[in-house]
Structure 1
Amino acid sequence: MGDSQGEQNLWVLLRTMTPVLQDHCYGFYSLSAERLAALEVTPLGLFQEPEGVTVIISESQVMQAQLPIVPTWRLITLSVHSDLQAVGFLAAVTTALAQEEISVNAISAYFHDHLFVPADQAEAALACLHNLSASVV
């Protein structure tokens, strides 16, 4: 399943990143392993840290689990298959977003990079990424 080679060329990555804004909103939480096990949720992602397990949960599951309301994030997936060893791709993307004063939490998975941006800035972030991609010649 994970055999194909991803793109490493920065210019190709930027030109063909094809950002897609997902429909759902998400919350980030830090939970103990015991608290997470007690919840009936299926996180989109999780990461073990010394302080606890960071979980990314859809807004609907947040409500279902009766977790406290936190700022919500929208997910933008960069559809290009980027190699995990590609250099400078996320740096260029996050710099462009920073210039528009849009915060971002980036996650690199095996095939794609995923950007969590504040829900109220999601459309602006998407436009910024389309502009960045179009500016690459």
Structure 2
Amino acid sequence: MDPAEFLEDGTVSVSEETYAVCRTDGDRPDAFATVREANETTVVVEQGRVDAVAADAVEHGWKRLTFEMELPFELVGFLAAVATALAEVDVSVFVVSSYATDHVFVKERDLSAAVRRLKSLDCEVGD
């Protein structure tokens, strides 16, 4: 499977919400995502709810790009293709994957560059 086949005519939605990525010591039931490791817990929450998180580090200003397609586990290099394409236009990413799709977070200030780059890969990107 070629990642380009999934990107071409693939739909990418852009969140209306802006998010914060927080390092904390507890879960947030209303978080978009929670990642627990042995030494820390990371939660992704809507930026307006960050005050309710007991966080010791916060990165503000992230927009979520969701690849609205079911990505098979056998697909190799999809995120590498996306991350490389965005790196070519100096856009840093934070990635959260679910069972069937990927969510790529980009800084709000980089959103227009990210959208332009994804469109150049023939993705249909909702603005």
- Bin of the TM-score, shorter chain as denominator length: 0.7 to 0.9
| Match for residue 41 of structure 2 among 29, 37, 53 | 53
The number of residue pairs the alignment matches comes to: 122
Give the SS at the match of 1:71.
strand
TM-score normalized by the length of structure 1? 0.78
Measure how far apart 1:9 and its partner are: 4.0
User: What's the secondary structure of 1:70's corresponding residue?
Assistant: strand
1:48 shift after superposition: 0.7
Which is richer in helix?
Answer: 1
Q: Show the counterpart of 1:128.
A: 117
Quote the residue 1:15 is aligned against: 8
Query: In structure 2, which of residues 53, 62, 66 is the aligned counterpart of residue 77 of structure 1?
Result: 66
Whether 2:110 is the aligned partner of 1:117: answer no
**Match of residue 29 from structure 1:** 22
Relative to structure 1, is the Cα distance of residues 80 and 97 closer, same or farther in structure 2, using a 3 angstrom cutoff? same
Hey, which of these two has a bigger chunk of strand by percent?
2
- Report how far residue 133 of structure 1 moved: 2.5
Summarize deviations over 1:79-110 as a string: whole Å, max 9, x none.
Answer: 12111231011111100000000000122212
Q: Distance in 1 between matches of 2:111 and 2:4?
A: 24
CA RMSD of aligned residues (A): 2.1
Q: How high is the TM-score relative to the length of structure 2?
A: 0.83
- How far did 1:62 drift? 1.1
Q: Secondary structure at the match of 2:59?
A: coil
CA spacing shift, 1:9–1:59, aligned 2, 3 Å:
same
**What amino acid sits opposite 2:4 in the alignment?**
W
CA distance in structure 2 between the aligned counterparts of 1:18 and 1:78, rounded to whole angstroms: 6
Q: Which runs of 5+ in 2 are unaligned?
A: none
* Contact 1:19–1:126 under 8 Å retained in 2: no
